[in-house]
Chain A
Amino acid sequence: EIVLTQSPGTLSLSPGERATLSCRASQSVAGYYLAWYQQKPGQAPRLLIYGASSRATGVPDRFSGSGSGTDFTLTISRLEPEDFAVYYCQQYGSPWTFGQGTKVEIK
């Protein structure tokens, strides 16, 4: 089973700033099978990025994903008020696993 470790646990930033979230895998993720999700309180997760770097339908271009192998990054170029949320990385393919999440909070 691939273990995903996200850092930092909490990121305190102001609107307009750049956010950089990290996801490190315990072993190489095959085929770029790495996704990122956003979750707001009381809501279901929302797919942002799949295939490590492809944006899902309707996702603003301020969200970008990069990385390969064991190191992946989600970047939010300029934080909007609606971007403050918890973000999870996921590797898909049995067994599917999620990172523990990074909370992006308003500074």
Chain B
Amino acid sequence: QVQLVESGGGVVQPGTSLRLSCAASGFNFSTYGTHWVRQAPGKGLEWVASIWFDGSKKYYANSVKGRLTIFRDLSKNTMYLQMNSLRAEDTAVFYCARDPCGGDCAFDYWGQGTLVTVSS
């Protein structure tokens, strides 16, 4: 069955870095677009970044541009989010999700999320 499993979250200090992973299984990872969405405690959903099925296109929310980088390793069926210069406002549950159109559809499966807490 389709599974997306996030990992890598934790408590970090402002200004430091963290790398999140999203391990995919149960489907042909190389033909799906994948995305990161975050949710601050008690708040709504915020799209963060997206990468096309072939890695040819990457998109970022303005709030993270220049600090976060999305990339994939097809050999490991894994997507990553490299987060640098973390701020308190980055504190959130980070979800990965896939879309069946390669990068331009609704998100039909989501992982359970990994919590990132940025605090001194």
CB distance from A35 to the nearest CB of B (A): 4
Q: Which of A51, A88, A94 contacts B45 (CB 8 A)?
A: A88
- Which size class do B's interface residues fall under? 20 to 34
Q: Which of B59, B99, B110 contacts A45 (CB 8 A)?
A: B110
**Which residues of A lie under 8 Å from residue B110 when comparing CB positions?**
44-46
Which of A11-19, A20-28, A72-80, A95-103 binds B? A95-103
Which B16-59 residues sit within 8 Å CB-CB of chain A? 35, 37, 44-47, 50, 59
- Which size class do A's interface residues fall under? 20 to 34
Which A80-107 residues sit within 8 Å CB-CB of chain B? 88, 90, 92-101
CB distance from B79 to the nearest CB of A (A): 16
A47 at the interface (CB under 8 A from B): yes
CB distance from A75 to the nearest CB of B (A): 18
A-B CB pair tally, cutoff 8 Å = 62
Residues of A contacting B: mostly: loop
- A interface footprint on B59-72 (CB within 8 Å = 1, 0 otherwise): 10110000000000
Measured in the bound complex, the distance between the Cα atoms of B84 and A106 in whole Å is: 42
**Which residues of A lie under 8 Å from residue B45 when comparing CB positions?**
37, 39, 45, 88, 90, 98, 101
Q: Give 7 closest A-B pairs by Cβ, nearest first.
A: A35-B106, A50-B106, A44-B110, A96-B47, A98-B45, A94-B59, A101-B44
Contacts A47-B107, A90-B107 known; 13 new A-B pairs at CB < 8 A: A43-B112, A44-B95, A44-B113, A45-B37, A46-B110, A47-B106, A51-B106, A92-B106, A94-B59, A95-B47, A96-B47, A97-B47, A99-B44
